[in-house]
Structure 1
Amino acid sequence: MSNASGSQSSTKEVLHGEDLGHGNSPAAWTCVFVMLLGALVSSIAFVIANAPIFWAGVVIVLAGLVVGWVMRRAGYGVGGSKLKNTH
């Protein structure tokens, strides 16, 4: 069986009832917050035509990715060791 794009369908079955987690963790929330802050800085800088501040906002967005990755590796991601109930 093939789909409209011509590629064959995957043999892996999709389970729609499975909980995906949706990144609900301190690492994900921190990553998103920092990236939104960077986007805000870049957006304001774009409106006032200030290139150095715009690029600073881009650096903040990239720093948000790094912070999220570091927090995930430290155990604060979905299913991380720091979030598991020890009782």
Structure 2
Amino acid sequence: MAQTPKFYHHGKSPAAWAGVVVAAVGFVIAAIGSVIGPNWAVAIVGGAIVLVGGLVTMVMKAMGYGQP
């Protein structure tokens, strides 16, 4: 008997939350880097963290923690 995956309503899955939190931290770091100077190294690190947020979402969704 197959197990039915859990249904998360309107993107409130653990994968969505984790990706959004990581991406928000990346946006804040990128904004700080672009305001202070601009300090391009900090801004690029923030942008990379935003991309990691997308990867976190995709990996967690593949593990079954996201909306099918």
**Same-fold status (TM-score > 0.5):** yes
Alignment partner of 1:55 is 2:44: yes
- Larger relative contact order (Cα-Cα within 8 Å, sequence gap ≥ 6): 2
1:63 partner amino acid: V
Greater C-alpha radius of gyration: 1
Shift, 1:22, TM fit = 1.4
TM-score by length of 1: 0.65
- Structure 1 runs (4+) deviating above 3 angstroms are none
TM-score by length of 2: 0.83
Segments of 5+ residues of structure 1 without an aligned counterpart are: 1-19, 80-87
| Aligned residues between the structures | 60
Q: CA-atom RMSD, angstroms?
A: 1.4
In percent, how many aligned pairs have the same letter? 42
Kindly indicate which of the two structures has a greater share of residues assigned to helix.
2
